[in-house]
Amino acid sequence: MKTKTNKPTARMLLGRRGEDVACEFLEELGHRIVRRNYRSGHLEIDIISTDGNGVHFVEVKSRVAPVAAAPEENVTPLKQKKIANAALRYLNNSKDPGITGGMDVSFDIVAITFDGGNTNVDWFPNAFMPMYL
């Protein structure tokens, strides 16, 4: 009988590296990282942060150059809906005193492209807004 190992895949390592870069980038902009990899059932949010403008639910897309399409283009309407549903669950269940019901909500994308020794970070604040929130 085979046992499953928890060894991270190359894709998982790339994603974690991209999230680390995104967190550093957001912190340099004045964000406070509240949570990473929030999960609720099958729903997930990469980064939850706050700043003077409210709470940010951030999807991170990491790629290694060359890329066929821009990383942010992979945040499809279905993915947006899943992020919004996860955000709603988070807001309804949050015990974080820094997050209140009256805060503005932003759905952002941070696209990270690793190209040899260079790292390109593109931030798309308010990348989408679900119509039902």
Per-residue pLDDT tens over the stretch 9-37: 988 889 999 999 999 999 999 999 999 99
State how far the Cα of 3 lies from the Cα of 23, in Å rounded to an integer: 34
Where does the pLDDT of residue 103 fall: very low under 50, low under 70, confident under 90, or very high at 90 and above?
A: confident
Domain at 10-127: CATH code: 3.40.1350.10
CB atoms within 10 A of CB 46: 22
Over residues 63-73, the mean pLDDT reads 83
Domain ranges of the chain: 10-127
Which CA distances in Å does 50 have to 4, 13, 37, 72, 73?
Answer: 37, 25, 15, 21, 24
Say yes or no to pLDDT of 113 above 90: yes
Say yes or no to pLDDT of 50 above 70: yes
The helix (run of H) or strand (run of E) holding residue 16 is helix 10-28
State how far the Cα of 70 lies from the Cα of 17, in Å rounded to an integer: 18
Say yes or no to pLDDT of 49 above 80: yes
Which CA distances in Å does 37 have to 71, 79, 89?
Answer: 19, 15, 14
SS3 129: coil
- pLDDT-above-70 percentage for the chain: 93
State how far the Cα of 63 lies from the Cα of 126, in Å rounded to an integer: 21
Instruction: List the helix and strand counts (H, then E) for the chain.
Output: 2, 5
Which pLDDT does position 11 carry in this prediction? 87
State how far the Cα of 21 lies from the Cα of 123, in Å rounded to an integer: 12
